[in-house]
Structure 1
Amino acid sequence: MRRAHAVFLSLALLALTMSSAQAAQTFRSGPEATSLVELYTSEGCSSCPPADDWLSSLRQQPGLFKSFIPVAFHVDYWNNLGWTDRFARALYSDRQRQQAAQGQTSQVYTPGFIINNHEWRSWFGGARQWQASQEHPGVLEASLSGQQLDVHFEHGAAGQQLNLAYLGNGLSSKVQSGENSGRTLQHDFVVLDWQQFASNKTDAGHWQLTLPPVPRLGQQQTALVMWVSPANSLKAIQATGGYLQE
């Protein structure tokens, strides 16, 4: 009886260990820089849907979350012009203004692209492929178990910031007013939440965090992405991420 009980406990512990291992997710960049493809957009802007559609097309491109990460920040400065974008936040508008102030873009507008920390106006001339970064900042990796996230950046330095964002795919809105009135807009890689976390002063390049709950705005699929920024800058040094197991 005692032996049978011991075997049962061993099997139960093994099952629990296997379950925990299955539940854990890992994200890892390569040593070369992952391109952060930022789109600033709004449902109130009639010229934005083509840019949104192009960003959605990146779902089918090889290298997603490995060589590049698309993110769509919906700004709120269109909200008083006829339609309130439910994905828009003042925080994202402020981010775009700060990027302009830091010289990453020439001005604030939608649709607006920033790729590898530089304004990308070539999209408006028909370009659909950007120049990959030649930087090799080192590996950014993370392990997610439940809501606990452990992140390590190979070349961590004092003052660096970790950016975390939940992205939503398969979102749609029936626009009732404004420039896109009567249209049903489809969205992917929508930033549902974005937060920054300072590096530990005694362990630069390492973050241990409890993630906030995933925002539920009707998305069919959710991704968690992260990138490291220098102190006092919104530039991305390295990025990684992927779809969440839900």
Structure 2
Amino acid sequence: MNGWRGMLLGGGLLMAIVTQPLQALTLQSPVERVNLLELYTSHGCSSCPPADAWLRKLESHPGLWQRLIPVAFHVDYWDNLGWPDRFASPAFSKMQRDHQRQGAIRSVYTPGFVLNGREWRQWFYRPQLDLQASEEVGALTLQVEPGTGATLQFSPEPHLNGVKLEAHFAILGFGLSSPIGGGENHGKTLKESFVVLSHTQTPPQQGEWRFPWPQLSVNDAERLAVVAWLSRPGNSEQVQAAGGWLP
């Protein structure tokens, strides 16, 4: 798939590798803040597949990457129900608990949506995104060398000059298929996109952030994308986000 293959390493770990040189790319946000939609989900949660299916449809959203960036974090706190989620991470569960601690959400549950750092319960009764015009915060540029690393640069508007920000870098998988052999979703094959396969976060700083290329835990994605966003320390709301497809 476009130069990506997988190989088995010691212990059965799957690692995505570059089998031929991949084109470096530059992705840039508009000056207006891009909407970041987070879904907290799990293969062990019987009410999550409808939310995952709805998120998949956002691949065709006309504002994808320039107005809207969706990401799906798989939590691990339902793994004891009989089927461990292959995408789950304790770090993603902690991110959701941090949202609660910071006042962004009232409780920790799945499926749980967070839109621009605030709990978004509208999905449960009217799953339609209403993306209003955002404030001007500055352009975020993501320079990616697949297999090597990524650099993130921010040109802030004056009201954000001198503010130290945390940076997040994630690789997303699309067209993933997971047969479920136990638990609440036993017998189902779950189709998913926007799945966070890798997430890295930096300490607060200004101007520029660098990320090494991560190891990936799966190799069966039909397509990959990269996304990055900035946030203030201790604040769930993103300052700016950028993303796009890998070649």
Shorter-chain TM band: 0.7 to 0.9
Cα deviation for residue 211 of structure 1 reads 2.1
The CA deviation string for residues 13-41 of structure 1, in whole angstroms up to 9 with x for no partner, is: xxxxxxx9x82201000011101010000
Counterpart residue number, 1:181: 186
Distance 2:234 2:125 in 1: 33
Identity %: 42
Distance 1:88 1:157 in 2: 36
Gaps of 5+ in 2: 1-20
1:210 aligned onto 2:212: yes
Counterpart residue number, 2:151: 150
DSSP 3-state at the match of 1:50: helix
Gaps of 5+ in 1: 1-19
1:62 partner letter: P
Q: How does 1:60-209 map to 2 (within 5 A)?
A: 60-132=60-132, 134-146=134-146, 147-155=148-156, 157-200=162-205, 204-209=206-211
2:88 partner letter: A
1:207 partner letter: W
Size of the aligned set, in residue pairs, is 222
DSSP 3-state at the match of 1:237: strand
Retained in 1: the 8 A contact 2:102–2:234? no
The CA deviation string for residues 53-111 of structure 1, in whole angstroms up to 9 with x for no partner, is: 01000001111111100100000000001111100111000000010110111100000
Cα deviation for residue 199 of structure 1 reads 4.5
Distance 2:232 2:162 in 1: 8
Retained in 2: the 8 A contact 1:35–1:133? no
Distance 1:157 1:108 in 2: 34
Counterpart residue number, 1:220: 222
The CA deviation string for residues 121-140 of structure 1, in whole angstroms up to 9 with x for no partner, is: 11101231234353221110
DSSP 3-state at the match of 1:231: coil
The CA deviation string for residues 209-240 of structure 1, in whole angstroms up to 9 with x for no partner, is: 33224443411111110000112333211000
Cα deviation for residue 158 of structure 1 reads 4.3
Provide the TM-score with structure 2 as the length reference: 0.85
DSSP 3-state at the match of 1:49: helix
Counterpart residue number, 2:10: none
Cα deviation for residue 145 of structure 1 reads 2.9
Cα deviation for residue 205 of structure 1 reads 1.8
